[in-house]
Structure 1
Amino acid sequence: MAAKALDYQPVKRWKHSTVRVGDYLYMWGGKQPGLPEVHNNEKKKSMCSVMEVCHLRTGRWEQKPTTGNPPLGVRGYAAAAIGREIFYFGGDCNHGDCYHNSLYSFNVDTFNWKELSPTTSHHSPMMKDDCDMIAIKVNGEDYLVVIGGYGPSSNNTPQQPGAQYSETKVLYSSYQRCNEIHFYKLSTGQWISPT
């Protein structure tokens, strides 16, 4: 009897997300074997320019190429879906103290990445990982809500009034956990800090 060919399986990883859209699971990024510990280079971009897709009805995985530039916050990011788009916020670069507060969209029909809001220390939410994000609708408008997180204390965005921050020192660096809540209004591309 001939041996059955093994089905494709994604590599082991951690600090990633898997998001359901329709009958498919979309898994991207995370800390995985061979991921360069650099801000960006060709190998990292190549590894991060694929999406792992699982067809729920068959349980089969496949790896599909993407277009556009994927987020640099490759691990510890937050993800949520609205319709046929998956949104990715924040994360860290897999090296040093390089955290992000960028927001990207990924279209599951075109497999194209699009940067909606770049990483900057000039606006909130803070540059962080290990936060969460949910999609909500208010008065017919779509919003993404980013909640909590962990990131560097220095060279970060201004603190949100009313939010709580707790600082810890690790070797020569200071980090903070927070309970920030920020809204991103999709129709205007605007970050909103509730009062």
Structure 2
Amino acid sequence: MTAKASDYQPVERNYHSTVRVGDYLYMWGGLQPDLPEVHNNEEKKSMCSVMEVCHLRTGRWEQKPTTGYPPLGVVSYAAAAIGREIFYFGGYCNHDDCYYNSLYSFNVDTFSWKELSPTTSHHGPMMKANCDMIAIKKNGEDYLVVIGGFGPSSNNTPPQPGAQYSGGVHQRCNEIHFYKLSTGQSTYSLY
């Protein structure tokens, strides 16, 4: 059940992001009390299928249901907004060594999720958390840029040429990946 906007305050959490679009803040996921330490189940789906929204002019929070399938990388993911969409990359699942390199979009008008690029261990950025993502425009095209991160060294993508990796079972990296929104193409680059 959704609480009334005037009474509602989000539950405590960490390892999450809050993104501004217009006059609203959108907060999703993170490590919350009672987040199941499983890959996926109904309780976890229910917790991750809501968006916390704060109207900046009034300071009031609301919890709103979403449609579609939200990312499973709910902890330490990266987020950035372009227009009326918020993009979510990677993250940790809150169990075992379950990291992601998927990319999702969330439309703030329809409150719906869409998977743009699924998690794979065969290409793209390494499966990771604790990275960052920014939105840029180059030659009139929108890009998302995923930078750095931390993830398992086993069962992961081939190393990016020129990138640096450090650590043992888990490693940090300085990968830089560009995702061109108009084509869905992911490329890497080091400056």
Whether these two folds match at TM > 0.5 is yes
- The answer (yes or no) to whether the contact 2:17–2:78 under 8 Å persists in 1 is yes
Decide which of 174, 178, 183 is 1:179's aligned counterpart: 174
**Cα gap change, 1:10/1:194 in structure 2, threshold over 3 Å: closer, same or farther?**
same
State the aligned residue count: 186
Q: How far apart, in 2, do the equivalents of 1:24 and 1:6 lie?
A: 15
Look up the match of 2:78.
78
Deviations 1:55-96 (A, max 9, x none): 000000000000000000001000000000000000010101
Q: How far apart, in 2, do the equivalents of 1:124 and 1:103 lie?
A: 11
Q: How far apart, in 1, do the equivalents of 2:122 and 2:165 lie?
A: 18
Q: How far apart, in 2, do the equivalents of 1:129 and 1:194 lie?
A: 19
SS of the residue corresponding to residue 104 of structure 2 reads strand
Look up the match of 2:152.
152
TM-score (norm 1): 0.94
Q: How far apart, in 2, do the equivalents of 1:194 and 1:167 lie?
A: 22
SS of the residue corresponding to residue 99 of structure 2 reads coil
TM-score (norm 2): 0.96
Percent identity reads: 84
Look up the match of 1:128.
128
**Cα gap change, 1:194/1:6 in structure 2, threshold over 3 Å: closer, same or farther?**
closer
Q: How far apart, in 1, do the equivalents of 2:142 and 2:153 lie?
A: 31
Q: CA RMSD in A?
A: 1.1
Deviation at 1:6, TM superposition (A): 6.9
Q: Say which one has the larger Rg.
A: 1
Q: How far apart, in 2, do the equivalents of 1:131 and 1:164 lie?
A: 14
SS of the residue corresponding to residue 100 of structure 2 reads coil
Uncovered stretches (5+) of structure 1, i.e. residues with no partner: 169-173
Deviation at 1:193, TM superposition (A): 1.2
Look up the match of 2:26.
26
Counterparts of 1:18-97 in structure 2, within 5 Å, are 18-97=18-97
**Residues 1:99 and 2:99 are matched in the alignment:** yes
